[in-house]
Structure 1
């Protein structure tokens, strides 16, 4: 699940209002060096997961607790001038253990050795060469991905790092087209090549802004020997007044096993995937307050499967901190409340809470499983001064399922403390 995923509503609003500028970006190129940027994002993360009264839980632990420091350096050159511009991107990632122990490892922050202990540090990196013609960019090499059918995850210290070819085109006003061919991906807590076990993923799709308020998207992806996917999204936002707005977001995946069908359903380990997973959410904003309701359903055979095609490839409303509510046959509902304290004289401070309940899940332990989750989050972003843009975040999740729907774990209490500081050097 994508704990730090972008809001699809926010993305759609951005797409609709920007209208994907028609002017040629390559004509405006100032040069390889002149348009370069270099940034380092530093993330400190404390991660605690309490399995409550479940000593036989994952890793035969009743608790996992670790903390670390992650550095994500990204250099993006500009493009050379001319009809076809050429540039490079370079990524450097370093994770450092601050606190752990053999009996507390297993949070997914660090690689784990044969002795059950987390490594003191780990690093990975890569680069890509890129070409630009007008408003179309071709990139070859290591790169982050955000397509709803192939999205890299960034919910731990360091992000996943896929390797392949991508092309993005904004030539037509209101239309963004993209495609990709990826053959490897390094997971968040591993450094070796293709630690996600990806064979090959090819995808194509795009987003179109019918109006500044209404956007739609359609994608197709095929992950060799795993599955093929179709994805569609419709998003509508409407301002009722200066301080009131409505937003609706609909997502649907159609997934079917392909080739060897290596990723099966979780219920019996042999069922082929052939399902539809869809969600609909509506949000009403008035002043500092946003109220959201969401419904989600999985129909057909097997769970909605993802992961080998990126840990972020789950753009569903009820994919939250612990559970995705994506089991075979499961239906789930969410109620959420957000408040932005800027209206009360504290810009940068916000709070969120949500409750999700699911039922009808078919798993290895039950044919009608139930689960629920409650999430609470507080976030503050410093607005000015030497520490401007430093964000401090507290995330707490409580998960319960008497049927063990989520990987057989009936009770999980999770706490994350996150401090993140983006430093723009160039």
Structure 2
């Protein structure tokens, strides 16, 4: 039944493209080769998670090579194209007992592998401003978002239709049946049955945008998402932005996701929402945010829907997404371009969560102090080279989670070959 519904939705998008086509991207197609691009991202990544309760720390360092090829579309009413990628990760430092599986998988003896590689591809068709793509992809939607926060990115296999026939409106509908996680070259080690997604976003005007999405991970949960983003500009230097995000999750009976987050496996439900207010003045930005979790279980993600499927304000090392948790954030951002260093930025955030129901207690707390520096070279031979250093100091009650300090360092250099 669900398959027919999603197929019908895809057909509706195609019909919409016929009815609404105006400034067609396909009519401007130059050709398969003429519009093609080939890029390689060099990523050097270091990860250090120091657990303060004497458990095994995670320390790993690796070099990643992320190659992506995107062809153009052939000319004509319907354009044809191909996308492909190749991933290679090389271990520079780690060891048994301190490996981090999101970087490198382990062999049968429990040792991290010395390297891992993966390749994938997808075919694509375009009619007017609607693209149908089938194969290995990196979906980035609020209810299905691949994770690219470690050495190599997560990938999914399936079909996605994206339509942009109406100016400001993007519609998506898709079905995916395999998940290749970070640190594991296997195509579908987690045995994803299927995830269906549908929804879209609309830019109403320069100040207001909205989004609405739905997903269904087979035998796990059904998820609904909404967003409203509104900006009040005061002048060229000052603005106030409000960002509201909400997830509603209906867990399937005996879902592992619900059980892992405090549910009893009996038709558990969850609602997670956040509201952030950001005041920007020149080079400075001040943010306050509140996030609240209610229901029979906490908010679960990365159970077939991707490791970045948590579009809420208070998501850093901790996502502050535990059962009945309430959290507040105060943060500050600084753009050093005003002070003569373009490309350099800094962010500091403090988040505190309380009222957590975990480990038989109902008033648990957790706290995180987050700091991040980022610098992107603006010109010269090393133009676009980026360096990012982030640190989280995390403390929590024993029934909530282990105390830890975490450092992540990334050096990335994009190379455009074609």
Looking at structure 1, the residues matched to 373 and 310 of structure 2 have their Cα atoms a distance apart, in angstroms, of 24
| RMSD between superposed Cα atoms in Å | 1.5
Q: TM-score, normalised by structure 2?
A: 0.92
Is 1:187 matched up with 2:181?
Answer: yes
Secondary structure of the residue that 1:368 maps to in structure 2? strand
Q: What's the counterpart of residue 363 of structure 2?
A: 368
Secondary structure of the residue that 1:231 maps to in structure 2? strand
Alignment of 1:335-346 (within 5 A): 335-346=330-341
Q: What's the counterpart of residue 310 of structure 1?
A: 306
Is 1:143 matched up with 2:134?
Answer: no
Q: Is the 8 A contact 1:266 1:364 kept in 2?
A: no
Alignment of 1:47-126 (within 5 A): 47-52=47-52, 54-55=53-54, 57=55, 61=56, 63-106=57-100, 108-126=102-120
Looking at structure 1, the residues matched to 25 and 395 of structure 2 have their Cα atoms a distance apart, in angstroms, of 50
Secondary structure of the residue that 1:263 maps to in structure 2? helix
Structure 2, unmatched stretches of 5+, are: 1-20
Alignment of 1:233-312 (within 5 A): 233-258=227-252, 261-268=255-262, 270-272=264-266, 273-308=268-303, 309-312=305-308
Looking at structure 1, the residues matched to 114 and 384 of structure 2 have their Cα atoms a distance apart, in angstroms, of 28
Looking at structure 2, the residues matched to 376 and 107 of structure 1 have their Cα atoms a distance apart, in angstroms, of 24
Looking at structure 2, the residues matched to 107 and 50 of structure 1 have their Cα atoms a distance apart, in angstroms, of 15
| Shift in Å, 1:388 | 0.4
Looking at structure 2, the residues matched to 107 and 92 of structure 1 have their Cα atoms a distance apart, in angstroms, of 20
| Shift in Å, 1:267 | 5.0
Q: What's the counterpart of residue 131 of structure 1?
A: 125
Q: Is the 8 A contact 2:221 2:255 kept in 1?
A: yes
Looking at structure 1, the residues matched to 261 and 114 of structure 2 have their Cα atoms a distance apart, in angstroms, of 36
Looking at structure 2, the residues matched to 168 and 403 of structure 1 have their Cα atoms a distance apart, in angstroms, of 45
Q: TM-score, normalised by structure 1?
A: 0.91
Q: What's the counterpart of residue 375 of structure 2?
A: 380
Alignment of 1:199-214 (within 5 A): 199-214=193-208
Q: Deviations over 1:155-202 (max 9, x none)?
A: 110010100000000001221101110001100011112123321000
Pick aligned residue for 2:319 from 308, 318, 324: 324
| Shift in Å, 1:365 | 5.2
Runs of 4+ in 1 over 6 A off after TM superposition: none
Higher relative contact order (CA 8 A, sep 6+): 1
| Shift in Å, 1:259 | 5.7
Q: How many residues of Structure 1 are paired with residues of Structure 2 in the alignment?
A: 397
Q: Deviations over 1:368-405 (max 9, x none)?
A: 21000001011111111111000011111000002342
Q: What's the counterpart of residue 358 of structure 1?
A: 353
Q: What's the counterpart of residue 7 of structure 2?
A: none
Q: What's the counterpart of residue 44 of structure 1?
A: 44
Q: Deviations over 1:121-164 (max 9, x none)?
A: 00111100000000000000000011100110001100101000
CA distance 1:361–1:197, change in 2 (3 Å): farther
CA distance 1:223–1:178, change in 2 (3 Å): same
